[in-house]
Structure 1
Amino acid sequence: MKILAAMSGGVDSAVAAARAVDAGHEVVGVHLALSRMPGTLRTGSRGCCTIEDSRDAHRVAGLLGIPFYVWDFSERFKEDVVDDFIAEYSQGRTPNPCMRCNERIKFAALLDRALALGFDAVATGHYAEIRHDPAGSPELHRGVDMNKDQSYVLGVLTAEQLAHCYFPIGASASKADVRAEAEHRGFPVANKPDSYDICFIPDGDTKAWLADKIPMRPGLIKDTDGQVLGEHEGAMTYTIGQRKGLRIERPAVDGRPRYVVDVDARDNTVTVGPRRALSVDTLEGIRTSWCGAPPSDVGHDEAEAIDCEVQIRAHADPVPARMWLGEHIAEAPASEYSVPRARPAGRLMHVAVQEPLSGVAPGQTMVIYRGTRVLGQATIDRASSRTAA
């Protein structure tokens, strides 16, 4: 096959590209330039896709003897990932930019260009596996190393996209094995630290970064009874489950910590409450999509729900649940739902968890599993508790 290897400059994508070469494929390496800031270096940065990363990827490509290119996707990245991140926070949501990057950049923009240029698949260094059902349709499964499994952030992929994905390191026993292989191959990135946090916020200070992008208005911090406890500088910089930096003037009667339990961007109000107020057992999701063929037995009301597991964060444990699809919803005008964007049309996904979850924020992604297989995903729109007093 003719393979386009997406090389981030890290050890995982380096070994993935090497294994593709070893498998006899015709491999071309490409690094995605996602920022036009010429001074973006890893020094002081905790993200990825820096100038230093580009150079590291180029060195590895040279060692492998494969062609290497840098493609400028900075404008697309700004529109589809950065601007989306800002817009979601402006609505009081907590988005996952890595999900959007995989959905709209690596496996949409990049894959589309690769196919147009005659490549058969895009290879990445994700810890996940592609398997096929008896009919030959592709399925996404967890990577062998559960500590590094990245199937969650790939849950937005469609069946058509899976058919052109190649994850050479998904079956690796551990990250240590991948590093050992990189060292054996003489790759300079063998011991390079993993990237983490949000790549376009290098210092990790999301609140300060947002404050420079979203007009902030002072507002009230209230408890669940509506009593005013203090003021904030901008509701959009708070997220569900937050405990620190609340600037509450009056302590709780019982002396226990309080957490953000609601962010109302329209009223510019932050509500805090006890930890128990964060407990939810029912999730409602929008922007529903299937990762491969949809499950044939999923019902359209709770009585026809299927057994599954749900995961709400990249490194969270999956929780046993029941899932069903709700009604189709029409797009709601922005003025009737939230500012600045409307609620998208589509079918709602409902999930009832068997073990309560804590700190679930609208905007997070819930990924649905059956065993190791990813069934699909949805963006959490509402979270509630049936047992709340």
Structure 2
Amino acid sequence: MKRVVVGLSGGVDSSVAAYLLQQEGYEVIGLFMKNWHDDSVTISNECPWLEDSNDALLVAEKLGIPFQTVDLSEQYQEKIVDYMFNEYEKGRTPNPDVLCNREIKFDVFMKIALSLGADFVATGHYCQKSETEIEGKTVYQLVAGADVNKDQSYFLCQLSQEQLSKSLFPIGALTKPQVREIAAQMELVTAEKKDSQGLCFIGKVRLPEFLQQKLQPKEGAIIQIYKDHPIYQQDDKSGLTVEDSLRIEATKIAYTPEMGKFMGNHKGAHYFTIGQRKGLNVGGTKDPLFIIATDVITNTVYTGLTSHHPGLFKKALRILKDEVHWVRDDLALINGETLEVMARIRYRQPLQKAILHQFENEMFISFEEPQSAITEGQFAAWYLGEELVGSGVIS
């Protein structure tokens, strides 16, 4: 009988995952990860980890499985929170959920599970795993969840073959309503529980307040750039190499305050991200202002009117060589190779037609259609059909 450790989060998805594994004959152990102590930055009681751990305990009791809590807050602080502060300080926008899976759930947590004699770690993610054989070797595939509205494969885009080999996703073939129905039939306390929102394990956070713990507020200018500014005229790329022309497409525009109109002040450029519309507190424009760029060195925020502003759109993005990650390392490209894929630059974005271009020190993704708010520090993930095969940090 194979032993599985389930990361019981106190939510309905992991509860049903544990039940299904039990039905399949696995020996199931429930572990709750406590990763956060500081309630001062969470909004009201949106992330009551105590309530979550109690719910996880009640589910374990109902299923008759062993249960314990593991405190990973030190590792979480070091690998996720400190990383987030560093990224925001550099003017990038990190994705803590992707990191949390790579660094905590499928690394620190997985090692604890394996030390308890587990054969596998299971989570309540909406994604699927399959296997294929290539040249006599088992290759693990990360496949989108059956529920199109809930597919969470993107959040696992940094997993390795080693991590996938030890992972199970019991609810990946189900839809959310089916999961809730099973929980209700089993009379699990989590059956009607709302999905958790916000940061992985921290819950809903007031981001500026969260960041103000380390990054001090400092006043800077908000500048509006007009959509017909000459900077948006297309450059002539004839005579350039493919790599150079892609680099131009992917490079962010170097705005200066003289290019636009002063609109007011903000409390710190590192609190804002590209594509953001709320939080500027600037009135007097007939259309909403969107952030098109931030400069943390000069502490300036650049904006443009409407979601169609040309400053929001780019046709290509760049990933540094050492930040390209292949879930399917057998598919990795070498210098000069290209691959047609479907890609997304954020969770829940519909997949976009794109081409990967691998060069010696970098990879570019060129999109068929211009993409809005390509954001440094976020992850781009690429798929062949339903299978997520690789990802990288947008640079």
Smaller-chain TM-score range?
A: 0.7 to 0.9
> Aligned runs of 1:275-354 on 2, under 5 Å?
275-286=309-320, 287-295=323-331, 298-301=333-336, 304-328=337-361, 348-354=362-368
Amino acid paired to 2:318? E
1:257 shift after superposition: 3.4
CA spacing shift, 1:77–1:256, aligned 2, 3 Å: same
Q: Which has the higher helix share?
A: 2
Match of 1:87 in 2: 86
1:309-354: CA deviations, max 9, x gaps? 11111111110100122323xxxxxxxxxxxxxxxxxxx3310011
1:239 shift after superposition: 0.9
Contact 2:318/2:365 (<8 A) preserved: yes
Q: 2:293 aligns with which of 216, 239, 262?
A: 262
1:37-67: CA deviations, max 9, x gaps? 4x69x994444x7110101011111111111
Contact 1:12/1:178 (<8 A) preserved: yes
1:248 shift after superposition: 4.3
Match of 2:253 in 1: none
Q: Name the SS for the 2:329 alignment partner.
A: coil
1:203 shift after superposition: 4.8
Structure 2 CA distance, aligned partners of 1:284 and 1:45? 39
Contact 1:281/1:357 (<8 A) preserved: yes
Q: Are positions 1:359 and 2:351 aligned together?
A: no
> Aligned runs of 1:105-144 on 2, under 5 Å?
105-135=104-134, 136-144=138-146
Match of 2:170 in 1: 168
Match of 2:187 in 1: 186
1:199 shift after superposition: 4.9
Could you list the runs of 5+ residues in structure 1 that have no partner in the other structure? Answer: 329-347, 382-389
Amino acid paired to 1:300? N
CA spacing shift, 1:162–1:200, aligned 2, 3 Å: closer
Structure 1 CA distance, aligned partners of 2:50 and 2:331? 43
Q: 1:151 aligns with which of 150, 153, 165?
A: 153
Moved over 6 A (4+): none
Structure 2 CA distance, aligned partners of 1:246 and 1:300? 43
Match of 2:27 in 1: 26
Question: In percent, how many aligned pairs have the same letter?
Answer: 36
1:48-97: CA deviations, max 9, x gaps? x7110101011111111111010000111111111111111111111111
Amino acid paired to 2:363? M
Structure 1 CA distance, aligned partners of 2:191 and 2:360? 50
Contact 1:229/1:250 (<8 A) preserved: no
CA spacing shift, 1:141–1:236, aligned 2, 3 Å: same
Structure 2 CA distance, aligned partners of 1:8 and 1:54? 7
1:219 shift after superposition: 1.7
Amino acid paired to 1:354? E
Contact 1:349/1:378 (<8 A) preserved: no
Match of 1:240 in 2: 274
CA spacing shift, 1:112–1:178, aligned 2, 3 Å: same
Contact 1:230/1:249 (<8 A) preserved: no
1:366 shift after superposition: 0.6
Q: Are positions 1:3 and 2:4 aligned together?
A: yes
Structure 2 CA distance, aligned partners of 1:201 and 1:89? 17
1:273 shift after superposition: 2.3
1:114 shift after superposition: 1.9
CA spacing shift, 1:73–1:305, aligned 2, 3 Å: same
Q: Name the SS for the 2:172 alignment partner.
A: coil
Could you list the runs of 5+ residues in structure 2 that have no partner in the other structure? Answer: 226-258
Q: Name the SS for the 1:134 alignment partner.
A: strand
1:230 shift after superposition: 2.6
Structure 2 CA distance, aligned partners of 1:256 and 1:216? 27
Q: Name the SS for the 2:117 alignment partner.
A: coil
Structure 2 CA distance, aligned partners of 1:249 and 1:176? 42
Match of 1:222 in 2: 223
Q: Name the SS for the 1:188 alignment partner.
A: coil
Match of 1:69 in 2: 68
